[in-house]
Amino acid sequence: MRFLEKMYSNAVDLNHKNIFSLFEKNEDAKFLDLGCDEGSLTLQMAKKIGTKNISGVEIVEERIKESQKKGIEVKSFDLNKCFDFEDATFDVIHANQVIEHLYDSDVFLSEIYRTLKKGGYAAIISTENASSWCNVFASLMGWQIFSLTNFSSKKQGIGNPFALHRDGGEAHLDSWNHVRIYNIRGLKEYFGTCGFIAESIKGVGYYPFPASIGNIDKTHCHFMTFKIRK
């Protein structure tokens, strides 16, 4: 299991690098991080953009307080519902590992579109890929795919003997549950349906091979990252 955890950790780190590579320099940008957690990564992304105008959305109270201490303007609301922001407020919106947790992604993407300025980009929408080779393998074995083993708040790692959090993975927050998992073609078409143009797609994670191969065969990478523009 430690080998799997190390591969996963390497893929997560490289996915962050993919995300950072897609930001554009703009000192005047208004930046929104959806699911800002405790704010450390949010500040790093804002630094990459070059802006100090930073907003975040988070629902875990402890993380909200930590983000606010770091100077981030944080609001707390349900991302399945209308955002608590005016039309055309932001130049950049980021959402990493968020869309798979939402039961109403139509509202989520529509609200990103509404709150982006014309020409603004939602870099990044990053999520797991249902067509990654490890998910395909799990499905062929009759197991729950790796990306959908955390669908219950009672226990993690259900239905897959190699799920990372299967051992000792008991109850967790409802907001951490995965609702649906996309693949590259599906998500690209979905963005188009919502009015966005997909400008760039990056991939990472190719278990058990080096994570960087995922950017060569994006169809079967584990984490896919889209830069989309209004």
Predicted confidence (pLDDT) per residue in 193-208, tens digit: 999 999 999 999 998 8
Q: How far apart are CA 154 and CA 95, in angstroms?
A: 26
pLDDT value, residue 173: 64
pLDDT value, residue 172: 60
pLDDT value, residue 91: 97
Pairing of strands 223-229, 197-204: antiparallel
pLDDT value, residue 168: 62
Residue with tokens 């993380």: 63
Cβ 186 vs Cβ 91: under 8 Å: no
Question: Hey, where are the domains in the chain?
Answer: 8-128+181-229
pLDDT value, residue 153: 84
* Class of domain 8-128+181-229 as given by CATH: alpha beta
Q: How far apart are CA 213 and CA 206, in angstroms?
A: 6
Strand partners, 34: 57
Torsion of CA 117, 118, 120, 126, to 10 degrees: 90
pLDDT value, residue 1: 56
Q: Where are the beta strands (DSSP E) in 40-151?
A: 53-57, 73-75, 90-96, 116-128
pTM of the model: 0.93
Nearest-CA neighbor of 179 among 203, 147, 140? 147
pLDDT less than 50: residues of the chain: none
pLDDT value, residue 62: 93
pLDDT value, residue 7: 82
